[in-house]
Chains A and B, each alone.
Chain A
């Protein structure tokens, strides 16, 4: 899991997190044990649907302001470390 999230932990941290994750999994097991035969599956907890907006252009941000947030920028673009592998 830490590998997927590209995170590094010490052994002590891993011990602590393993305990926390076990609690989360225990909760999931509790939920799975419930009898939900009468319930209809829903995609979203809120009873909302079809929230859309019209296809109208709104102003974008100022580029200098945007790039000022980046650690490094070059030629109007974000400069990032060399990307190994490929886009998924």
Chain B
């Protein structure tokens, strides 16, 4: 759970749009045959094309176009004839002094993304462009402003990207996080990108503004960069919203600008050192010809699209899994297992609890749906306590095998009622103060004491007792001591 950020007053409404860059999972760069690989020695994947040497000519990577179209279709976009443009600027992360991108003719436009809570965020466009090189600022703090010099690695220059631009449809911090999370889920589901924020293969910028609640206006926005995790995204959007509200309420107004998220300081910092003219002088790249994707090719892409996260969540919901749990199951890619286990007769809620809530197993390949269903059945029938069930599942994942056999091997069997009663009585006798408070208590205090006493019984029985059964015994004894 991420910590809640203090929200803005109800008289204000948050307006957020995201710009998300994802690196496409190709073998080579967008316009040359250099390897697209993260983590190689600096400047070992470079050639005349990505170094912008005179006389070199870019040629589009067919696979990058295919993945970009797949991504666009997964977001419900229309695919149109597109063209590449040069975005001219002076910054050493591109040796050509321009970045090749799509300007007025993007490959994909006008789509939509459904979030786990059912809300929909419009997608304005998803265009193809090349990534830039990586600059490292050398100086006292590694920060831009106190750099003594910079070092540049062009391995990433020319790596294929898709930039997804959402419409400003996001109204809450949670929705902003969910939107980026859902984009990540879609990217990985369709194999377009590994979308790792921590490695930079997915990068999120947020355009944040606020407006009086109920008004339809769009006020001055700030673009927040340097968001390396969904948590940072949430914190930065919340911070920026509060900053804007503070400015408006003080009779001032935010300046339209780029700001950087400072994770350790928990604030955004203005990115521009001075007022600068912003004009990228876009023009069509004369070295590249238009891309057309005909209807047949789009139909082929559509036919090959896997089931998307939203549809998979709906499938789980139809099988009786609660919405929030369904989102988690899909995120972890275990919906196939859960659905099959439910089909094999497992209780949906219990199965999901075992699969996502308690256990973070790395390798589920040995766990069969039938095994999972049998495990849930044993737990439901009271043959295994929750603690034991978890241990059995861990063992099933490690060595395979049928849950009944594993439970027997581990020496698990449900405690005989008499043994359980004895254990409960021993705990009651050993803790008379807590027992009295449990009997006399109401509400929270009673709950607290119940937790304490149950915990003691679990400890005494080394997790063999069933928590619900202990609770039932405690309640019975309190009524009829």
Contacts and interface: CB of A to CB of B under 8 A. Distances in A.
Contacts of A78: 43, 92, 151-154
B289 A79 contact: no
B292 A80 contact: no
A38 interface: no
Interface stretch (B55-63, B303-311, B337-345, B369-377): B55-63
Given A56-B28, A61-B46, A83 B135 contact: yes
A63 B284 contact: no
Interface in A7-57: 43-44, 46, 48-57
B35 A57 contact: yes
B47 interface: yes
Interface in A45-88: 46, 48-61, 63, 66-67, 74-88
Interface string B125-155: 0000000100111010000100111111110
B43 A82 contact: no
A83 B153 contact: no
A44 B278 CA distance: 26
Nearest to B53: A69
B202 interface: no
Given A51-B59, A52-B61, A87-B132, A60 B152 contact: no
A60 B46 contact: yes
A43 B61 contact: no
Interface in B31-45: 32-35, 41-45
Contacts of A6: 90
Most buried by B among A6, A54, A79, A82: A82
Contact of B147 (A48, A50, A83): A83
Contact of A60 (B42, B47, B151): B47
A75 to B, nearest CB: 7
A56 B26 CA distance: 9
A86 B273 CA distance: 9
Given A76-B41, A88-B91, A46 B150 contact: no
B51 interface: yes
Interface residues of A, number: 38
A41 to B, nearest CB: 11
Contacts of A55: 26-28, 61-64
Nearest to A64: B43
B60 A81 contact: no
A63 B153 CA distance: 11
A50 B292 contact: yes
Contacts of B26: 55
B150 to A, nearest CB: 5
Nearest to A46: B289
Contact of A76 (B35, B43, B59, B290): B43
Interface string B2-38: 0000000000000000000000001110001111000
Contact of A50 (B43, B149, B260, B291): B291
Given A50-B291, A52-B60, A83 B137 contact: yes
Contact of B290 (A44, A75, A82, A88): A44
A77 B27 CA distance: 23
Contact of B83 (A44, A52, A57, A86): A44
A11 to B, nearest CB: 21
Contacts of B260: 86
B281 A4 contact: yes
A6 B418 CA distance: 88
Contact of B284 (A43, A56, A84): A43
Interface of A: 3-4, 6, 43-44, 46, 48-61, 63, 66-67, 74-88
Given A80-B151, A82-B139, 4 more contacts: A53-B59, A66-B51, A82-B148, A85-B91
12 contacts: A43-B83, A43-B284, A48-B289, A49-B81, A57-B33, A61-B47, A61-B48, A79-B151, A80-B92, A82-B147, A86-B225, A86-B271
